[in-house]
Structure 1
Amino acid sequence: MSDAPSYGFDTLQIHAGARPDPATGARQTPIYQTTGYVFRDADHAAALFNLQEVGFIYSRLTNPTIAVLQERIATLEGGAGAVCCSSGHAAQIMALFPLMAPGRNVVVSTRLYGGTVTQMNHTIKRFGWSAKFVDFDDLDALKAAIDDDTRAVFCETIANPGGYVTDIPAVAEIAGAAGLPLIVDNTSATPYLCRPIELGATLVVHSTTKYLTGNGTVTGGCVVDSGTFDWAASDKFPSLSEPEPAYHGLKFAETFGPLAFTFHGIAIGLRDLGMTMNPQGAHYTLMGIETLSLRMERHVQNARKVAEWLEKDPRVDYVTYAGLPSSPYYDRARKICPKGAGALFTFAVRGGYDSCVKFVDALEIFSHVANLGDTRSLVIHSASTTHRQLTPEQQTASGAAPEVVRLSIGIEDADDLIADLDQALAKATA
C-alpha cells in the first residue's frame, strides 16, 4: 500500500503493511515460525550484515510477520518506522537505549504506570541513568528539571491508572526548545484516539499487550519513530550521529535519515538487548488491530456510561474519568483525544483500603487482573498490587491512593457492568 496515507483508519488497520503471501497467495499474514533465512549468496549475506541492503537475517533482528506489524503500527501512528519487541517495558528501554549514557537523565511525568515508575526510579540506575519526576501540569517545573545531562522527556497520553490526560503539545514545545525528543506512551489511548506524533512527539511507545491486541493473549511492545527529529543537530546523541564502530564507522543519522532511530533499534537494540517479539505474538496482535476502531468506540461508549453512573453514586467519593464534564481534564481530553477519553479510570470507594479490597472480591463480571485494554472488563486495587512497591506519596501522586480502584472497561453490555458494580459496592460498603 504505497499510497497508504490516502486511506482511512479503518482501512489501514486491516491492510497497512500486509500483502498476499508471494509464495502461496495466502491472504492473512502467515506466521513465519523460523529462526534463520537462506541468503542468495555470500555477497547478499555481506550486504545484509553491513546494513547495505534491507532483508531478513535472523529472527532476533527481523521476521516477516513482525515486519508487517511494525509497518501497520507505524502507519496508524503516522510514523516513519517502528520496532516491535517483547513487552511494553522492553519498548521503553529500547526507546531510551540510543539516547542515554551513564550520567544522563530523563525527565518523566509523575503520572505513570506503577511498573514504569519502578523502572525509571530504580532499574535504569543499573545502566547509570537516572530519572527526574515532575508534575507535567507544572510547565515551569518541567522546564526547570531539564539540564545539560537530560536526553529525553517521557509521559503517557492517558496515564495509567487515573486516566489523566497529558497536554502533549505544551510538553512537546518545551522538549523541542531544549533540543530533546519527547517520548509518549500511547498504550491507553491507541492511535485511534490520539496520534501523539501529530501533537509534537518524537517517539511513541506501546504495550501492544493491551488495546492493540485487545484479547489478553500475548505480550508485546513497540517503538514508533516520527522520523522528524534531527539527531545530528547537537552532540547529545552520539549513538545516532557519530560513527558506529560495530558497522565500520557508519553514521545512522547520516546513512538512514528519517529512519535512523528505527534502524538503530533493530541493528543495535534488538541485536544486543535481544528483547525480541515472537512471530506468533505478532500474528495475534495483527488480528487484534483489525478491529481496533470498532473496539475502541465501544470501550469509550461503555466507559462514559459507567463513569456517569459511578459519579452519581453516594458510595463513591470521586471518579477520575476525563470524559466527564466535571473532570478538570475534560477540555484537554477533547483536544488531545477528540474521539473519547479512553476506557481506563479510577474511582474512590467510601471506606478506604478495606472497602476497596471487599469491592474487588465481590465483583462477578469484572475480572481481577493486572492488565488493561482487554475486551473483558478488568479491575484492580493498584495500591495493593501494581503500585505496591511505591511509597504512599508516590501512590497518591500517580493516582493510585489506597482508597482508589482502577477499572478497565470492556465491551460487554454496559448495563450488566453497572449492575455488577452496584452489587459489589453494596457488599463493600454495608
Structure 2
Amino acid sequence: MTDDPRPQGFDTIAIHAGSQPDPATGARQVPIYQTTAYQFRDADHAAALFNLQEVGYIYSRLTNPTVSALQERVAALEGGAGAVACSSGHAAQIMALFPLMGPGLNLVASNRLYGGTITQFGQTIRRFGWSCRFVDLDDTDAVRAAIDKDTRAIFAESISNPGGYVTDIPAIAAIADEAGIPLIIDNTLASPALCRPIEQGATLVVHSLTKYLTGNGTVTGGAVIDSGRFDWSASDKFPSLSAPEPAYHGLKFHETFGAAAFTFHGIAIGLRDLGMTLNPQAAHYTLMGIETLGLRMERHVRNAVEVASWLEADPRVEAVSYAGLPSSPYHDRVRRLYPKGAGALFTIRLKGGYDACVRMIGALKLISHVANLGDTRTLAIHSASTTHRQLTAEQQVAAGAGPDMVRLSIGIEDAADIIADLDAALG
C-alpha cells in the first residue's frame, strides 16, 4: 500500500489494502482472475508450492489472486495476521472450528445467535462428533461452568441476529484466556467499521461477507480472520496446529508458520479438503463493496437510530430491541465497546402479536421481505416463522425471535421514506 510508517485510517485501508496496480496491464482495480489453474515455472517450483515451502498459486480451490486480495483487505480491516475467504458465513464457521475440534470435543456458544447457527451447532456438528453448550454470556459464572477439559472454543456474535444483544467481548475473552482456548467472534452485524473484536481480545473473527462487507445483496461469501496471537503449542489441545501433519510429511503448522499457522492450515487443509471455495467474481463484488463500508455503516447507524426511535414512540409497537436506544439495557455497553454505533439490525414487538406481524410484513412496499440483512435496502422478516423456525419456542425467545417480533435491517435510503412505509404497514 505505502512505505509510510504512519498507521493508515480505516477508510484508506478499505480502499487500498490488498490492491496494487496489475503488473501486466496497470489495471488499478483488482482484476477478476477467472482461472482454475496456474502455470508452474518448472517441476521444482511446483513441488515447492505443494510442499508449502513457497507461497504462490496452484489451483483456485486453494488460492486465487482476486480472493487473495480480499483476504488481505479483510485481515487488515480487522487487524488480523491473516484471513481465509470461503463460500458463505456458515462455511466460515465450520472453517474456524475445523482445526480446533475433534470427536468428543465441545464448544461453548451464546444462546443468542442466528437461528441457522444454533441449528448448525446444536444439530449438524453432532455428525462430526462435536457438541455445543449454549449459555447466556452475560452470566459469566455459567460460561465458566460450561467449560471443561474437552472444550476447545467459545463462540459469540459481536451483535446478535436478530435480537441486537451486544457481547461484552473483553469479559468473555478473559474467560477464554483463563481456559487456554480461543474466543471466536462473528462480527457480521457490527462489521470492522463499528467493532474490531481482535482489539478486544478475540482470537478468531468470522464474517458472512454476504452482509455489510459486500453490502448490496449480490453474492454469498465468508471469511475467517486470525489474530495471530494465540499460542497453539502451549498445550496438547490443538494437535492439528501443533502436532506433525501426516499430509505434509510431519510439518508442524504452528512451529513452521508462527502467527500465520491458522491461516495456512485453513488454506492447505481446510480449503483443500472441505472445498468451501469463494469464487473470484464474488470476491471482486465484495472488494468493491468494502470500499464504501465506512460511509455506509455511518448511514446505516444514523438511519437505524432515527427509525428505532420513531418506532419506540409509536403506540402500535410494544417494544424495540435495539442497543442504540438509551432505553436498551446494553446502551452503556455500546457506548463503551462500540462507540460508533450498535449496527442497523433490530427487532420490534407488535401489540397485535403474530397476526399483526404477518399483516405488517404483507403491507410493506418500499421495505423488502427477504431472508437477508446488511443490504443497502431496508429489509424485513418474521424470524420465528423463517430464519429461526427450526428452534423450539424457548430457543426463539432466548434468541430474541419470538412469534410477536419482526426483524428489521435498516438500509441507507432516506429515513423519512423508511418510516413512511412502516407507518402505512402498521395500519
TM-score between the two structures when normalised by the length of structure 1 = 0.98
Which amino acid letter does the alignment assign opposite residue 415 of structure 1?
A
**What is the distance in 2 between the residues matched to 1:131 and 1:366?**
36
Partner of 2:325: 324
Which amino acid letter does the alignment assign opposite residue 161 of structure 2?
N
Gaps of 5+ in 2: none
- 1:327-346 Cα deviation digits (max 9, x unpaired): 00000011221101100000
Partner of 2:131: 130
**What is the distance in 2 between the residues matched to 1:328 and 1:188?**
19
Pair 1:154 & 2:191 matched: no
Partner of 2:185: 184
Gaps of 5+ in 1: none
**What is the distance in 2 between the residues matched to 1:301 and 1:70?**
29
Pair 1:37 & 2:27 matched: no
Question: Per-residue deviation at 1:362?
Answer: 0.4
* Structure 1 runs, 4 residues or longer, greater than 3 Å off: 2-5
Partner of 2:19: 18
Which amino acid letter does the alignment assign opposite residue 308 of structure 2?
A
- Alpha-carbon RMSD across the aligned residues, in angstroms, is 0.7
**What is the distance in 1 between the residues matched to 2:302 and 2:6?**
28
**What is the distance in 2 between the residues matched to 1:336 and 1:161?**
19
**What is the distance in 2 between the residues matched to 1:334 and 1:6?**
24
Which amino acid letter does the alignment assign opposite residue 203 of structure 1?
L
Question: Per-residue deviation at 1:6?
Answer: 1.3
**What is the distance in 1 between the residues matched to 2:234 and 2:218?**
42
Partner of 2:200: 199
Alignment of 1:243-254 (within 5 A): 243-254=244-255
Partner of 2:61: 60
Secondary structure, aligned partner of 1:256: helix
Percent of aligned pairs with the same amino acid: 77
TM-score between the two structures when normalised by the length of structure 2 = 0.99
Secondary structure, aligned partner of 2:155: strand
Partner of 2:405: 404
**What is the distance in 1 between the residues matched to 2:149 and 2:113?**
24
**What is the distance in 1 between the residues matched to 2:142 and 2:263?**
31
Question: Per-residue deviation at 1:2?
Answer: 5.8
- 1:211-265 Cα deviation digits (max 9, x unpaired): 0000000000000000000000000000000000000000000000000000000
- 1:295-321 Cα deviation digits (max 9, x unpaired): 000000000000000000111111011
Partner of 2:270: 269
Secondary structure, aligned partner of 1:6: coil
Partner of 1:374: 375
Aligned length: 426
Question: Per-residue deviation at 1:124?
Answer: 0.3
Alignment of 1:64-75 (within 5 A): 64-75=65-76
Question: Per-residue deviation at 1:5?
Answer: 6.9
Which amino acid letter does the alignment assign opposite residue 220 of structure 1?
G
Which amino acid letter does the alignment assign opposite residue 302 of structure 1?
N
Partner of 1:302: 303
Question: Per-residue deviation at 1:166?
Answer: 0.3
